Amino acid sequence: MGERETWTTDEFGDSHEGAVGVLLADGTVPRPAFFPSLSQGGGHTTSQWDVYDGRHGLTPRAHALRAVCSCGWTGPEHQVAWNGDDEQRFDEPADELAYLCEQEWDEHTTEVEKSAVAMPDDITDLIRILEDKLDKLGTESPLAAIRVVRMLELTAKRSASRPARIARYDLGIEQSAAGLGLSEDGARRLLSRFDLFSAYN
């Protein structure tokens, strides 16, 4: 897969990395496009949606756009309304479709968040209050705010070690991934990072 613009959330990261996907008229996904360098050898490869305009013979012309996610989810297809001009730029008929794809991916990650294990309301409220207080403290006393955040890091590390170990060995990676809204690889990395004793297992 060539380079392209992607979207992630802070919580789910690359477990749910979204992008605008391209479909050709036969329903297939085009190969990454290669653009040679004019000044020297080599070039670059990209899968960015707006290069599939069929101009100059370097790429095929896209038939539709859809949101895609690294978890395998795909959004509905949105057909591109080309005007028949072979030199028409892709961003003219498709900018709004690309934005719609991003909105649909946002809705997908919202559903992922809802499907993850619920956090207690009192803890959620406490985190929100703490964020507000840290935001104010960061303006009044930046170093004090950094000390508080550092203590939170240490507290989180200590507090997460036992639950991470239980999740890894008692619940298993598949169940943990589903509850955390992550891929199995993402859950494995997260639990390994939180388990203070993982290096000795």
Q: What is the pLDDT of residues 40-84, one digit of tens each?
A: 667 778 999 988 988 767 789 899 999 999 999 999 999 998 876
One-letter amino acid identity for 163?
P
**138 and 106 assigned to the same domain:** no
**pLDDT-above-70 percentage for the chain:** 90
Cα(161)–Cα(194) distance, rounded to whole angstroms?
A: 5
Give the per-residue pLDDT at 58: 77
Cα(201)–Cα(195) distance, rounded to whole angstroms?
A: 10
Give the per-residue pLDDT at 34: 84
Look up the domain containing 27 and give its range: 13-115
Give the per-residue pLDDT at 119: 94
Cα(161)–Cα(180) distance, rounded to whole angstroms?
A: 16
**24 and 101 assigned to the same domain:** yes
Last residue of a domain, one of 96, 115, 134: 115
Q: Is 173 helix (H, G, I), strand (E, B) or coil?
A: helix
Give the per-residue pLDDT at 201: 45
The backbone torsions φ and ψ at residue 88, rounded to the nearest 5 degrees and listed phi first, read -65, 135
Last residue of a domain, one of 81, 97, 115: 115
- Hey, CA dihedral for 129, 131, 132, 136, is it positive or negative? positive
Report the domain count for the chain: 2
Give the per-residue pLDDT at 8: 97
Give the per-residue pLDDT at 35: 77
DSSP readout, 56-81?
GGTSPBP-EEEEEETTS-B---EE--
Last residue of a domain, one of 68, 85, 115: 115
Tell me if 3 is assigned to some domain.
Answer: no
- With tokens 């997460």, the residue in question is 160
**152 and 88 assigned to the same domain:** no
| Tokens coding 72 | 């395998």
